[in-house]
A and B are shown apart, each in its own frame.
Chain A
Amino acid sequence: MNKNVNYIALAGGIATLVLIIVSVFVPWWQFTVGNPALAQVNVSPMNLNFSLLGTAITIPLILAINIAALLTMLSGGIAMLIYALKPNKPYSKKILGFGYKKPLIAVIIFIVGIIALVTLANSLSGFNVPVVGGSAMKLPANMSPDGMSISVNVLAAFGWPFYFAIVASALCLAAKFYHKKIPLEGTVAPPIPSTA
Chain B
Amino acid sequence: MQVLGIILVLVSVGTMVGPIAAVAVMYSSNLEGLVITPQIKDIMNGNSALLPINSGSNNNNNNYNNDQYNYTDSNGENSNNNNGFMSPVLVSSQIDSTARTVTVVANVSNPLGYDLTVNSFNSTIVCSQDNYQIGTIRLANPVMLPAAQTAQVTVTGYWTQDAENHVLTTHPGATSIAVNLVDTTIDVNGIVVQSPAPISAGSIPIS
A associates with B: yes
- Residues of chain A touching chain B, judged by Cβ–Cβ distance below 8 Å, are 33-38, 52-55, 57-61, 63-65, 67-68, 71-72, 74-75, 79, 90-91, 94-95, 98, 136, 146-154
- In the assembled complex, the Cα of A33 lies from the Cα of B197 at a distance in Å of 26
Q: Which of B1-20 contact A (CB under 8 A)?
A: 1, 4-5, 8, 11-12, 14-20
Closest partner residue, chain A, to B23 (CB atom): A64
Size bracket, chain B contacts: 35 or more
Q: A34-B189, A35-B189, A148-B195 known; 11 other A-B pairs, CB under 8 Å?
A: A38-B190, A53-B112, A54-B113, A63-B23, A94-B8, A98-B8, A150-B191, A151-B191, A151-B192, A151-B194, A152-B190
What 10 A-B pairs come out closest when comparing CB atoms? A153-B190, A35-B190, A71-B15, A64-B23, A34-B190, A53-B114, A67-B19, A34-B189, A149-B194, A64-B19
* Contact (A61, B197) CB under 8 Å given A75-B15, A94-B4: no
* Contact status A98-B23, CB under 8 Å: no
The residues of B that contact A53 with a CB separation of less than 8 Å are: 50-51, 112-114
Q: List 23 A-B contacts (CB under 8 A).
A: A33-B190, A34-B191, A35-B119, A35-B190, A36-B115, A36-B189, A36-B190, A52-B50, A53-B112, A53-B114, A54-B114, A58-B37, A59-B35, A59-B37, A60-B23, A60-B35, A61-B20, A64-B20, A65-B19, A68-B17, A95-B4, A95-B8, A151-B192
| Of B27, B40, B190, most A-chain CB atoms within 10 Å | B190
Closest partner residue, chain B, to A56 (CB atom): B39
Contact bitstring B111-122, A, C-beta under 8 A = 1, else 0? 011110101000
* Contact (A55, B39) CB under 8 Å given A98-B8, A147-B196: yes
Interface of A is mostly: mixed
Say which residue of A58, A68, A136, A146 sits within 8 Å of B18 (CB atoms): A68
| Of B51, B119, B192, most A-chain CB atoms within 10 Å | B192
Closest partner residue, chain B, to A58 (CB atom): B37
* Contact status B11-A75, CB under 8 Å: yes
Whole-angstrom distance between the Cβ of A145 and the nearest chain B Cβ: 9
* Contact status A61-B8, CB under 8 Å: no
- In the assembled complex, the Cα of A98 lies from the Cα of B1 at a distance in Å of 13
The residues of A that contact B196 with a CB separation of less than 8 Å are: 147, 149
Whole-angstrom distance between the Cβ of A73 and the nearest chain B Cβ: 9
* Contact status A38-B191, CB under 8 Å: yes
The residues of A that contact B4 with a CB separation of less than 8 Å are: 91, 94-95
The residues of A that contact B20 with a CB separation of less than 8 Å are: 61, 64-65, 68
The residues of B that contact A136 with a CB separation of less than 8 Å are: 192
* Contact status A71-B19, CB under 8 Å: yes
Whole-angstrom distance between the Cβ of A155 and the nearest chain B Cβ: 9
Closest partner residue, chain A, to B49 (CB atom): A55
